[in-house]
């Protein structure tokens, strides 16, 4: 069976499960949100461990969530899995002109230049009213802080870092310990600080 046939079989399985399984019939985008998040974290764990078999399984579980959402949207007439695939293909073509529409004789772009082109095209497409628009505040605090600081740097603004006397991991761990002793949720404290910055 070819890859394409397997993907079509998977779509047929998801449609059948949605039609014939009472639990799956009762699910909505919102009720499945926690499973999407859980499977994402399990996939990240598999990446950290470096176990290919575990990663293959977790990618399958993550793919299940994506296709489940697509089948629910298809039932509502909102969009189909084909629409999802078509949208991402078009996005990849637009945001990677160095691959899909290279100028004659243009030099090969390095990774930094490729990212700059991507971000420039993305900014044009999104037409954001704020430099922070589009950064989900639900991200884990450290990732949220990193995204905000990245956007600030694109605006030419910087935040002075702490003294590098200790390793970054040690300083973060010490801050988490300090927060615990003070009865403060470190994730929420950092999230609040980043929101004030943003």
Tens-digit pLDDT profile for residues 155-184: 888 776 667 777 887 888 888 878 888 888
Range(s) of the chain covered by CATH 1.10.287.1080: 3-93
State residue 56's pLDDT score.
97
Report the mean per-residue pLDDT for the chain: 87
Which has the minimum average pLDDT: 52-61, 140-149, 157-166, 170-179? 157-166
pLDDT above 90 as % of the chain: 43
HSE value, Cβ hemisphere, 13 Å, CA-based, for 63: 13
C-alpha count within 13 angstroms, C-beta hemisphere, residue 34:
2
Which range has highest mean pLDDT (57-61, 176-180, 188-192)?
Answer: 57-61
CA nearest neighbour of 175 among 195, 157, 193: 193
Look-up: residue for tokens 């609040």? Answer: 192
pLDDT at 186 over 70: yes
Domain 3-93 has CATH 2.40.50.100: no
Q: Which SS3 state, helix, strand or coil, does residue 47 take?
A: helix
Contact 195, 148 (CB under 8 A): no
Q: How do residues 91-138 score in pLDDT, each as one tens digit?
A: 999 999 988 987 755 567 888 888 888 888 888 888 877 878 888 888
> Which runs of consecutive H residues, i.e. helices, occur in 21-166?
22-25, 29-49, 52-76, 81-95, 97-100, 111-126, 141-154
pLDDT for 104: 56
Least confident of 36-45, 64-73, 120-129: 120-129
Please determine, for residue 86, whether its predicted confidence score (pLDDT) is greater than 90.
Answer: yes
156: left (phi over 0), alpha (psi -120 to 50) or beta: left
Cα dihedral 120, 192, 31, 43, rounded to 10, equals: 60
Nearest-5° Cα angle at 84, 118 to 16: 155
């Amino acid at each position: 069976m070819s890859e394409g046939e397997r993907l079509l079989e998977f779509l047929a399985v998801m449609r059948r499960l949605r039609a014939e399984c009472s639990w799956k019939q009762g699910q909505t985008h919102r009720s499945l949100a926690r499973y999407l998040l859980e499977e994402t974290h399990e996939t990240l764990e598999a990446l950290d461990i470096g176990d290919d078999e575990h990663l293959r399984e977790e990618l399958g579980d993550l793919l299940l969530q994506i296709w489940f959402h697509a089948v629910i949207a298809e039932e509502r007439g909102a969009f189909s899995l084909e629409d999802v695939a078509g949208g991402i293909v078009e996005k990849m073509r637009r945001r990677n002109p160095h691959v899909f529409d290279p100028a004659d004789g243009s030099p090969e772009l390095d990774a930094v230049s490729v990212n700059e082109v991507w971000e420039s095209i993305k900014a044009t497409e999104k037409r954001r009213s704020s430099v922070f628009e589009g950064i989900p505040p639900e991200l884990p605090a450290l990732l949220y802080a990193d995204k905000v600081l990245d956007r600030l740097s694109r605006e030419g603004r910087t935040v002075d870092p702490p003294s590098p006397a200790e390793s970054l991991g040690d300083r973060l761990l010490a801050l988490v310990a300090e927060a615990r002793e003070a009865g403060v949720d470190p994730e929420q404290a950092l999230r609040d600080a980043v929101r004030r910055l943003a």
